[in-house]
Amino acid sequence: MKTLTTLLVFLLTLTTHAQTVTINGTVSDDSGMPLPGANVFVKGTSNGTQTDYDGDYEIKGEIGQILVFTYVGFQTAERKIKKKGTLNVQLAPGAVLEEVVITGYAQDAKRSRLSNATKTVRIRGASSFSSGSYVQSQNRVSNNESYARIEENNFKNVKTSPLSTFSIDVDKAGYSNIRRMINHGQQIPEDAVKIEEMVNYFAYNYPQPKKNEPFSITTDVATSPWNKDTKLVRIGLKGKDISTQNTPASNLVFLIDVSGSMDSPNKLGLLKSAFSVLVDQLREEDKVSIVVYAGAAGMVLSPTMGSEKQKIMNAVNNLSAGGSTAGGAGIQLAYKVAEEQFIKNGNNRVILATDGDFNVGAASDRAMETMIEEKRKSGVFLTCLGFGMGNYKDSKMETLADKGNGNHAYIDTMQEAKKVLGTEFFGTIYTIAKDVKLQVEFNPAKVAAYRLIGYENRLLNDEDFNDDTKDAGELGSGHTVTALYEIIPVGVKSKYLKKIDGLKYTNVQSNNGSNELLTVKFRYKEPDGDVSKLIVKTLRDTNRNIEKTSEDFQFSAAVALFGQQLRDSEFISDKNAQTVVDLAEAGRGTDKEGYRAEFIRLVKSYSQTR
């Protein structure tokens, strides 16, 4: 009898340990913010998954097995499966890169002990897809990505260059692209660091415009947080916030790259999931067409009302990748469809989704630029959505967006898709001012030299400011744009202030006797206008410490400093990541969406892997 009892207990124990259960939950950081793309796998097996854009996961395992949770920049956590149900995990920051490489999925020789079975990743609003190639591509550093050359702006002597002129930039792709590289432990190319796009990724609490103006203007100055002898000037624009209900009907043409280079879960797979977010935003008065291109271009969905969401998503979900990349032909067809369906006084826009790897047809940036410049005359604007990694062509995407009166975003996660194509989308496509140019005149009695931080690819000739034929950036409903200048005050000795001979024929001294530091002029056109309007604003000098400024000022300075650190800028004396963290923490504010907290985490993660 005793033997029988022992046998029954043994069998019961085996059954318990072999019991397969479903575990789900949320993976978050130490502040409670969800971590999208965190890796969850059963220790010692190839059974794994990733969290979705809300940090949620679901996985099957056996009672008694160990779940391993990893994320770049965080300490690995292990939890024993005790029962089915919910298992929420918070990861503590501080792990070095080697500790969080996804060993459960990797195939290289160092981890050959693990099998290469197919896994399933669950992403909200999308079909499941294999995570094997997806995760591997995240950790692979490729030299086949392409970025336009950036020559960092130098200090300019006010005696010889009193004017600084540039176009606004509302693109935010630079920040999400940098975030992807840091999260995946990749080396960051210097030319991928576009500081203005990093700063402008974040929204700032600038005042709403006055009743008859499309945007408000904010200017302020404080001591620089990275050079004790310089000052930092901030210029901010805030677009008038038009509610979604009041935006006109939209005529949208989805132009989707289905070439062979898009055959990856983090490209076409993520694209399908991302577009579900956009389709959810459509209204009955909106209409959508879908054009695809690979070896050739074709239309896979004729104009369809926004209320027919399932029909639109069926067309998207049925797409598959293969063939070469006839990008030029696709763009031409997309514009043709948009022009045929043109809505007067509406939002007419082509939305291009691609990795930018055009290799057939009009392949060069110059040819694409010429084509888009011609097409924008129709009144159809362009939005470029970048996907993927390894062969991402940022330079082409930037060229298309700049010349197409549009904007450029990079989608690395479903969380970013929700931001770009959900909460911000209608504000982005509702243009309230186009060809927005800024020209700053510095007072030589106050400023010895200045440099514009970022915007290297947006600089204009001084004479372009009054030339209404010169293209510039567009501002969408509710959007903010921030520009930062570092200035060297008169009388300050600085290694960055190069000596020049005195001017014989030009009077460079201000004769107004005022305390004005600078005058900033803005030119813009109405969305359907051809003649620009002018706004002028002055900024008076102060000696305020940046610690006494607004949270927004401090946070924008923190982002700019981090961008300069990534570029190893010669113009900053402080290369310490903790300075960035302290400044960002001081400027974090309410941070309802958690984007500022995420930035702080990224800075900490990057500093630990250097």
Q: In 167-215, which ranges are continuous DSSP H helix?
A: 173-183, 195-199
Select from 59, 53, 58, 50 the least CA-distant residue to 33: 53
Number of CB atoms found within 10 A of residue 96's CB: 13
Whether 512 is in a domain gets the answer yes
φ/ψ of residue 125, rounded to 5: 80, 10
Same domain for 223 and 359, yes or no, is no
Contact yes or no for 58/131 (Cβ under 8 A): no
| Beta-strand pair 381-386/407-410 | parallel
Q: Is the pLDDT of residue 598 over 70?
A: yes
Please tell me whether residue 416 adopts helix, strand or coil conformation: helix
Same domain for 453 and 570, yes or no, is yes
Give the domain-ending residue among 418, 441, 456. 418
CA–CA distance, 594 with 14 (Å, rounded to integer): 45
Helix (H) or strand (E) holding 515, with range, is: none
> Which two tokens mark 333?
């067809």
Please state the pTM of the whole predicted model. 0.80
Long-range contacts of 490-494 (CB under 8 A, 24+ apart): 490/444, 490/445, 490/446, 490/447, 490/448, 491/448, 492/229, 492/230, 492/448, 493/229, 494/227, 494/229, 494/230, 494/448, 494/449
CA–CA distance, 255 with 35 (Å, rounded to integer): 30
| pLDDT in the model for residue 96 | 36
* C-alpha Rg value of the chain to the nearest Å: 26
Comparing 289 with 1, the larger pLDDT belongs to 289
Give the domain-ending residue among 396, 418, 440. 418
- Most confident range (mean pLDDT) of 135-139, 494-498, 594-598 is 594-598
| pLDDT in the model for residue 104 | 31
Q: What is the mean pLDDT of residues 351-380?
A: 74
What tens digit of pLDDT does each residue of 270-308 get?
899 889 999 998 999 999 999 998 867 789 999 999 999
> Which two tokens mark 196?
């203005």
| pLDDT in the model for residue 119 | 31
Q: Tell me how far CA of residue 160 lies from CA of 369, 458, 463, 500, 516, in angstroms.
A: 33, 21, 15, 9, 19
- Band (105; pLDDT cuts 50, 70, 90): very low
Contact yes or no for 335/350 (Cβ under 8 A): yes
| pLDDT in the model for residue 466 | 96
Q: What is the mean pLDDT of residues 343-361?
A: 81
Whether 435 is in a domain gets the answer yes
CA–CA distance, 279 with 276 (Å, rounded to integer): 5
Whether 437 is in a domain gets the answer yes
What tens digit of pLDDT does each residue of 447-471 get?
999 999 999 999 999 999 999 999 8
Q: What is the mean pLDDT of residues 491-507?
A: 82
CA–CA distance, 485 with 195 (Å, rounded to integer): 12
Mean pLDDT of the chain: 83
Q: What is the mean pLDDT of residues 412-428?
A: 84
Q: What is the DSSP letter of 422?
A: I
Same domain for 260 and 372, yes or no, is yes
Select from 582, 588, 585, 580 the least CA-distant residue to 610: 580
Q: Residue 45: which CATH number?
A: 2.60.40.1120
Whether 13 is in a domain gets the answer no
| pLDDT in the model for residue 112 | 29
Same domain for 388 and 443, yes or no, is no
Select from 288, 278, 229, 284 the least CA-distant residue to 253: 288
| Geometric angle at alpha carbon 169, from 497 and 325, rounded to 5° | 120
Q: What is the DSSP letter of 262?
A: G
Contact yes or no for 338/350 (Cβ under 8 A): yes
Same domain for 324 and 444, yes or no, is no
Q: Is the pLDDT of residue 211 over 90?
A: no
Same domain for 212 and 266, yes or no, is no
What tens digit of pLDDT does each residue of 318-342 get?
998 876 666 677 888 999 999 999 9
Q: What is the mean pLDDT of residues 125-147?
A: 43
Whether 11 is in a domain gets the answer no
- Band (436; pLDDT cuts 50, 70, 90): very high
Q: What is the mean pLDDT of residues 409-428?
A: 85
Select from 450, 582, 469 the least CA-distant residue to 523: 469
Number of CB atoms found within 10 A of residue 188's CB: 15
For residue 83, what are the domain limits? 18-138
> Which two tokens mark 462?
């001084």
| pLDDT in the model for residue 282 | 92
Neighbouring residues of 267: CB distance < 8 A, sequence distance ≥ 6: 261, 321, 355, 387, 388
CA–CA distance, 590 with 76 (Å, rounded to integer): 29
Same domain for 510 and 379, yes or no, is no
Comparing 574 with 233, the larger pLDDT belongs to 233
Half-sphere exposure of 383 (CA within 13 A, CB side): 29
Neighbouring residues of 488: CB distance < 8 A, sequence distance ≥ 6: 155, 229, 230, 447, 448, 449, 450, 494, 496, 497
Q: Residue 587: which CATH number?
A: 2.60.40.1230
Q: Is the pLDDT of residue 24 over 60?
A: yes
Strand partners, 519: 441, 538
Please tell me whether residue 305 adopts helix, strand or coil conformation: strand
Q: Is the pLDDT of residue 98 over 50?
A: no
Q: What is the DSSP letter of 446?
A: T
Same domain for 483 and 366, yes or no, is no
Whether 227 is in a domain gets the answer yes
| pLDDT in the model for residue 481 | 95
Same domain for 260 and 297, yes or no, is yes
Please tell me whether residue 360 adopts helix, strand or coil conformation: coil
CA–CA distance, 109 with 118 (Å, rounded to integer): 19
Neighbouring residues of 9: CB distance < 8 A, sequence distance ≥ 6: none
Q: State how many domains the chain has.
A: 3
Contact yes or no for 76/99 (Cβ under 8 A): yes
The DSSP-derived string for 62-94 is ETT-EEEEE-TTB--EEEE--SSEE--EEPPB-
Please tell me whether residue 518 adopts helix, strand or coil conformation: strand
Same domain for 335 and 373, yes or no, is yes
What tens digit of pLDDT does each residue of 170-208 get?
889 999 999 988 887 888 999 999 999 999 999 999 999
Same domain for 264 and 228, yes or no, is no
CA–CA distance, 85 with 202 (Å, rounded to integer): 37
Same domain for 331 and 392, yes or no, is yes
Task: Indicate the length of the chain as a whole number.
Answer: 610
